[in-house]
Copies of this chain bind each other. A is one copy, B any other.
Amino acid sequence: MIAHIIVTPKPVVNDPQGVTVRQGLASLGFREVLDVRVGKYIELSLDISSEHEARERVEEMCRQLLANHVIEDFRFEVIRNGRR
């Protein structure tokens, strides 16, 4: 199975990286950009055949290592190799 995980700063948390990107885009002329949030994208290849088990394990990985639950949210999808 493949897992696609997105980790984002919580809405109430400052995102200085996002502010920097917004300023960079503005200085290039992209003034239509109102707000930028920058997070992480993590793709896992898993030696698991059950989608249910994969979901449980990925959830646990996010809680233990991939996301900092104090300041970050996470969401993910699990895909049978190559197809959703």
**Chain A residues close to B by CB (< 8 Å):** 6-8, 21, 24-25, 28, 30, 32-48, 57, 60-61, 64-66
Contacts and interface: CB of A to CB of B under 8 A. Distances in A.
A16 to B, nearest CB: 14
A38 B21 CA distance: 19
Contact of A30 (B6, B8, B61): B61
Report whether over half of chain A's contact residues are helix, strand or loop; otherwise say mixed. strand
A7 to B, nearest CB: 7
A36 B66 CA distance: 11
Nearest to A43: B37
Given A25-B61, A65-B25, A41 B44 contact: no
